[in-house]
Structure 1
Amino acid sequence: MKKQIVVALALLVSTMSFSQKSELKAAEKAIKTGNFADAKSAIQSAESLIGGADDKLKAKFYFLKGQALYANGTASNSDIDAAIESFNKVSDVEGSSKGKYTVQVNTLKTEILNNFLTKANSALQSKDYVKSSIGFEKAYRMSPQDTLYLYYAASTAVTGQDYETSLKYYEELRDLGYQGVETQYLAVNKESGEEELFDNQLMRDASVRAGSHIAPKQKNTESKSAEIVKNIALIHLSNGDNEKAISAMKDAREQNPDDLGLLISEANVHLKMGNKDRFKELMQEATTKDPDNAELQYNLGVIAGEAGEVDAAKSYYEKAIALDPSYADAYNNMAVLILGQEKEIFDQMNALGTSAADDRKYEELQGQKQKLYESAIPFLETTLKLKPKSIQAAKTLMNIYSALSMTDKFQDMKAKVAELEAGN
């Protein structure tokens, strides 16, 4: 009796093995003819039996399943995800990069990866950011060592305003410890005298050897970790999750206490939340860490100006200009601060009566107003020089020239304003 049971079991195993091979053969044939629906059906029939198969048969099963689900790139996103997962199982089963099906999968994965990247870049060019994000995410799943693709997926999702998806990808990048530091290869073009960026070291070195470029150098880009954490926080903020936003920044700064980028990012999160006092505190801390950063001084000037701290704001703008004489916005905001004081003068003038004393006071205030205008002119002129298309600066200058009876300059600026408005 026992012998009969053993024989029966042996027959059952043999039948299962035959069925598996038969279904896989059918799937293989269907894939070759492009009949992916039949291939998927055959794979589904074999799947329930594959658990007891040997590794060779399992590897073949996962290889064919991946092909059937991928359907030459025409499948749904969920089927493509399942196909990638199946392809990745092939090498797990074979346990060697030289396994028969692993070698075939690697060749196929390269083809599929390039297809994902082509579609992602094409969607990016046509500004279909959500579709581009999907393509980059699929490329990353196909090649997990290329974390840059996941970063692109997160960035394009943000641009496409798919914040839920971008948050998921950014948090994954954060948990991976992604830095995104890249080496850039540069050299100076002899003809133009300008420094140019090359795609890789080989191209840069070839240009130097050819004599078209000189002064080769390389440098690393800044880490993207601060940007990632900042975006996580800002997405939480836009979702109304203020506590999660602050928590994200706090955790990041605890891990990287000397990271200036994270410090500034936390300050910006507080500014978005309306916590201007905390923003100011953090920005002052940042200026201590980086006293030669003009942008930090400028931002402190903005906050001081909004708080009505005119002298402090002027001081910050002056520091920004001293550190970066080409900082157009700092010049412009200095002019705005100065001209903002004219309201007080106007209010005093309008409150005066008709007595002789009031007339004298009026003349005094008129002189103060004139000095105010005169002191704003250099900042506005510099702003316009640095930003020649700034209509607002041009209009303000035109009005000041008119008020000060500077006829020639008024006429020139009037023509400049008309030119700028016509260009828009």
Structure 2
Amino acid sequence: MKKLLTIVLTLAITSLSFAQKNEIKAIEKALKNSNFADAKSASAAAEALIGSMDDKSKAKFYLLKARALYANGAGTDANIDEAITSLDNLKDLESKMGKLKYTQEANDMTTGMVNTFLTKANEAFTNKNYKVAAKRFEKVYRMSPKDTLYLYYAASSAVTEPDYDTALDYYVQLKNMGYNGAEMNYYATNVETGEEENFTDKASRDFSVKAKLHKAPRDEKSKSKTAEIVKNIALIYVSQGENEKALGAMADAREENPDDIGLLLSEANVYLKMGNRERFRDLMEEATKKDPGNAELQYNLGVLAAEGGNSEAAIKYYEKAVSINPNYVDAYTNIAVVILDGEAKIVEEMNALGTSKADNIKYDELKEKRTQVYEKAIPYLEKALELKNTNVDAARTLMNIYSALGETDKFKTMRAKVEAMEASANGN
């Protein structure tokens, strides 16, 4: 009986081995004929026998299964996900075996998949199909986990969609892996055009400089994306009503990078989004102390002061901004806006007066006061228009002021400018 049992078992094992080989051959045959539907069916049949396969057969099966599912780029998203998993299983298995028979082929296949999906992701992003772009970039990252930049692109695409739940998932992954996105950029000036160009790598740049096609090489490290990532995590939490999580995300980042002004500003924006304008102002003040030469910070404090009704402080901040950056158009415009805010109250008082002698005297006083307001605002509007000659709002305001002041020639000149700007904007 024992001998008979051994024979039966031997026959069963042999039969199973033939079945495995036949199924694997069926996948290979279907793939050779580019019949991916049959290849997937044969893969499913072979999968049922994987528990009894030896490691060598498993490795080959994983590769063939991935090829069947990928279908030369025609596979569905679900198929691609499964193909990626199959290739990962192959690489893990051969790594443990210490024999990389199929790993190189798997790596080549992965490279092809990465290129295919990267093209599709870029096309989707260009066509503003951000949801699809996010999925494609995420798949590229899964195929090539060392290229964390693609997960960042996936997050950026998702937040642009906006698909905040997906974006949050990607951003949290980036934060947890310590991704900051800072990378070295390699520049050199084109000898023929005189324009500086960015190279994909140092070797290419150095070769071109050596060939005297480019000159003046320089390296520059890009800014860290940590502040942006944490800010977006926090703002998504705020949009979901998870204010404590938002502040927690910011606190963690600030603790790790206490001198990062970008994170400080991100935290300020979170408080502003939450409606806590006082805390926002405090953090902005702190930022200006850390970076006193930042015109934008001064400008933002001006905006905040103006919205709070503190005109004097607003003008002070705006003037500080233009002292740092004399070409800050919006700061000049906003100074004029704050100055002209006082006009409405003056006009209201003028309209409320009667026709008595005392009222007439008061009217003349208010009229002179209004003239002074106009004259104080004019230089800032003129400067804004000088710096940006398409600033139709500044031009229109100047036109109305010149009309109110009775300066006919200036009014006509400015009216012609406004009409020209409006015609240009309408394509005439």
Whether 1:324 and 2:333 are equivalent positions in the alignment is no
Whether 1:281 and 2:276 are equivalent positions in the alignment is no
CA contact 1:65–1:86 (8 Å) conserved in 2: yes
Q: What residue is the counterpart of 1:30 in the other structure?
A: 30
| Distance (Å, rounded) in 1 between the aligned partners of 2:138 and 2:255 | 29
TM-score by length of 2: 0.93
Q: What residue is the counterpart of 2:16 in the other structure?
A: 16
Deviations 1:281-300 (A, max 9, x none): 11111112111111111111
Q: What residue is the counterpart of 1:401 in the other structure?
A: 402
Q: What residue is the counterpart of 1:199 in the other structure?
A: 200
Q: What residue is the counterpart of 1:48 in the other structure?
A: 48
Q: Which moved more, 1:348-357 or 1:224-233?
A: 348-357
| Distance (Å, rounded) in 2 between the aligned partners of 1:368 and 1:72 | 77
- How many Å apart are 1:169 and its aligned residue? 1.4
| Distance (Å, rounded) in 1 between the aligned partners of 2:403 and 2:233 | 50
Deviations 1:156-179 (A, max 9, x none): 222222222222211211111111
CA contact 1:26–1:39 (8 Å) conserved in 2: yes
Number of equivalent positions: 424
TM-score by length of 1: 0.94
Which amino acid counterpart does residue 90 of structure 1 have in structure 2?
L
Whether 1:347 and 2:375 are equivalent positions in the alignment is no
- How many Å apart are 1:116 and its aligned residue? 0.9
Whether 1:67 and 2:67 are equivalent positions in the alignment is yes
Q: What residue is the counterpart of 1:338 in the other structure?
A: 339
Which amino acid counterpart does residue 264 of structure 1 have in structure 2?
L
Whether 1:208 and 2:209 are equivalent positions in the alignment is yes
Q: What residue is the counterpart of 1:299 in the other structure?
A: 300
- How many Å apart are 1:203 and its aligned residue? 4.1
Deviations 1:152-205 (A, max 9, x none): 111122222222222221121111111111211223455665544333334433
- How many Å apart are 1:98 and its aligned residue? 6.6
- How many Å apart are 1:61 and its aligned residue? 1.1
Please give the secondary structure, in 2, of the residue aligned with 1:66: helix
- How many Å apart are 1:263 and its aligned residue? 1.1
Q: What residue is the counterpart of 2:364 in the other structure?
A: 363
Q: Relative to structure 1, is the Cα distance of residues 243 and 24 closer, same or farther in structure 2, using a 3 angstrom cutoff?
A: same
Which amino acid counterpart does residue 258 of structure 2 have in structure 1?
P
Q: Relative to structure 1, is the Cα distance of residues 191 and 356 closer, same or farther in structure 2, using a 3 angstrom cutoff?
A: farther
CA contact 1:97–1:103 (8 Å) conserved in 2: no
Q: What 5-or-longer segments of structure 1 have no aligned partner?
A: none
| Distance (Å, rounded) in 2 between the aligned partners of 1:359 and 1:148 | 71
| Distance (Å, rounded) in 2 between the aligned partners of 1:237 and 1:255 | 22
CA contact 1:81–1:138 (8 Å) conserved in 2: yes
Q: Which moved more, 1:386-395 or 1:249-258?
A: 249-258
Q: What residue is the counterpart of 2:87 in the other structure?
A: 87
| Distance (Å, rounded) in 2 between the aligned partners of 1:37 and 1:246 | 51
Deviations 1:122-143 (A, max 9, x none): 2222222222222211111111
Whether 1:108 and 2:112 are equivalent positions in the alignment is no
Q: Which moved more, 1:349-358 or 1:17-26?
A: 349-358
CA contact 1:342–1:369 (8 Å) conserved in 2: yes
Please give the secondary structure, in 2, of the residue aligned with 1:187: strand
Whether 1:418 and 2:419 are equivalent positions in the alignment is yes
Which amino acid counterpart does residue 137 of structure 2 have in structure 1?
F
- How many Å apart are 1:105 and its aligned residue? 0.8
Deviations 1:23-52 (A, max 9, x none): 111111111112222212222222132123
Q: Relative to structure 1, is the Cα distance of residues 213 and 355 closer, same or farther in structure 2, using a 3 angstrom cutoff?
A: farther
- How many Å apart are 1:207 and its aligned residue? 4.4
CA contact 1:151–1:173 (8 Å) conserved in 2: yes
Please give the secondary structure, in 2, of the residue aligned with 1:341: helix
Which amino acid counterpart does residue 37 of structure 1 have in structure 2?
A
CA contact 1:30–1:38 (8 Å) conserved in 2: yes
Q: What residue is the counterpart of 2:185 in the other structure?
A: 184
Which amino acid counterpart does residue 269 of structure 1 have in structure 2?
V
Please give the secondary structure, in 1, of the residue aligned with 2:102: helix
Which amino acid counterpart does residue 318 of structure 1 have in structure 2?
E
Q: Relative to structure 1, is the Cα distance of residues 314 and 97 closer, same or farther in structure 2, using a 3 angstrom cutoff?
A: farther
| Distance (Å, rounded) in 1 between the aligned partners of 2:310 and 2:176 | 42
What is the root-mean-square deviation in Å for CA atoms of aligned residues? 2.0
Deviations 1:58-81 (A, max 9, x none): 101111111111111111111100
Percent identity over the alignment is 58
Q: Relative to structure 1, is the Cα distance of residues 9 and 336 closer, same or farther in structure 2, using a 3 angstrom cutoff?
A: same
Please give the secondary structure, in 2, of the residue aligned with 1:144: coil
Q: Relative to structure 1, is the Cα distance of residues 153 and 249 closer, same or farther in structure 2, using a 3 angstrom cutoff?
A: same
Please give the secondary structure, in 1, of the residue aligned with 2:220: strand
CA contact 1:91–1:97 (8 Å) conserved in 2: no
Q: What residue is the counterpart of 1:158 in the other structure?
A: 159
- How many Å apart are 1:407 and its aligned residue? 2.0
| Distance (Å, rounded) in 2 between the aligned partners of 1:359 and 1:213 | 75
Q: Relative to structure 1, is the Cα distance of residues 192 and 363 closer, same or farther in structure 2, using a 3 angstrom cutoff?
A: farther
Q: What 5-or-longer segments of structure 2 have no aligned partner?
A: none
Deviations 1:274-316 (A, max 9, x none): 2211111111111121111111111111011000011111111
Which amino acid counterpart does residue 421 of structure 2 have in structure 1?
L
1:223-262 maps to which residues of 2 (within 5 A)? 223-262=224-263
Q: Which moved more, 1:156-165 or 1:197-206?
A: 197-206
| Distance (Å, rounded) in 1 between the aligned partners of 2:204 and 2:396 | 49
Q: Which moved more, 1:35-44 or 1:412-421?
A: 35-44
Please give the secondary structure, in 2, of the residue aligned with 1:340: helix
- How many Å apart are 1:317 and its aligned residue? 0.7
Q: Which moved more, 1:370-379 or 1:380-389?
A: 380-389
- How many Å apart are 1:415 and its aligned residue? 0.7
- How many Å apart are 1:260 and its aligned residue? 1.1
Please give the secondary structure, in 1, of the residue aligned with 2:186: strand
| Distance (Å, rounded) in 2 between the aligned partners of 1:9 and 1:284 | 82
Which amino acid counterpart does residue 167 of structure 1 have in structure 2?
L
1:376-387 maps to which residues of 2 (within 5 A)? 376-387=377-388
